[in-house]
Amino acid sequence: RVVAQSLGKSTPEGRGEDTRTNATKYSKVKRDDSVLFTFNENGAIDRRPAVGSDTVATRESSEDPSTPARQTGDVAICSSVHFVGIGGSGLSVLADVALKQGYKVSGSDVSDNPKAKSVRKAGATVFIGHSADNLGEDVDAVVVSSAVPKGNVEVEAARARGIPVYKRETWLGRLTENRELLAVAGTHGKTTTSSMLSIVLRDAFGDDLAAVVGADVPQYPDCGGALHGASKRFVLEADEY
C-alpha cells in the first residue's frame, strides 16, 4: 500500500512529473480511503485522501518451491523458528520480533557478531557456524537470509525433514498478512523514511504500531530495529527486490 507518494521532478509550470521506472508491472487500483496523507505540489503534507493514485505491485512468492508443504509450517501455528544468518541486520530483527511474539527461537551465523550476541541475550539459542545438528527436533519453520549461499547444510537438513524454508520477505509477508501494512521501498532512503514514518505515527498520532527496519533506531526500545505495538498498523522497510 502506498502511504505517501512523491510527485517526482518539477516542470517549469510547477507541476509534478512522474519519473518512476521499474521492471515490475504495476496496475492501477481504485481510491483507498485508508491512505493517511499524500504530498502536494509544494512538497507539503496533504492530509486529504489520495484520489486514484495508489499502485499495487504483484510478484511471485519467494518461498522455496522445493520445500514440501507442511501444515505445521504455517506461521500462525508454528512455535519454534530457526534463523539461518541470525546475526545479519535483517534476520536479527525478525528473530527479536519472533521472541516478543512468543516463539522459541534458534539460529546460526558464521561469527559471533554484536547482533548475534544481542539476540542471544534476548533469549534465542545462537550457534556459531552452520551444522545440521543446529536444527533442533522441535523446529517447525526455517527462515534463511538472502546472504546465505545455496547448499547450506541447515537448509538442506530442513528440506530433508520436510520443514518449510522461508526467505526473509516471505516470512515477513506471513507475519504481516493480518495487519495494515505500510511498506517503504526504493533504492535509497528506505531505512530513514520507514523509521521516520513509524516515529511520526507513534509519537504524533498516538498509534501503538509495530515496525521492522534494517538498522538500529535510537528512538526504538533498546535502540533496536523493531517496534512491538499492538495496533493493526505495521511499518516495514521493504527491499527493492
- Catalytic: which of 191, 192, 193, 240? 191
- Residue 193: CA atoms inside 13 Å, Cβ hemisphere, count? 18
* Residue 173 and residue 231 in contact, taking contact as beta carbons nearer than 8 Å: no
Active site residue 154: no
Dihedral Cα 237, 165, 229, 218, nearest 10 deg: -50
Active site residue 25: no
Tell which residue, 140, 2, 237, has the closest CA to residue 226: 237
Question: Residue 130: CB partners within 8 Å, gap ≥ 6?
Answer: 84, 108, 110, 152, 153, 154
Tell which residue, 26, 156, 46, 144, has the closest CA to residue 91: 144
CB count in 10 Å sphere of residue 149: 6
Active site residue 177: no
- Catalytic: which of 63, 115, 170, 190? 190
Give catalytic residue positions. Answer: 190-191, 237
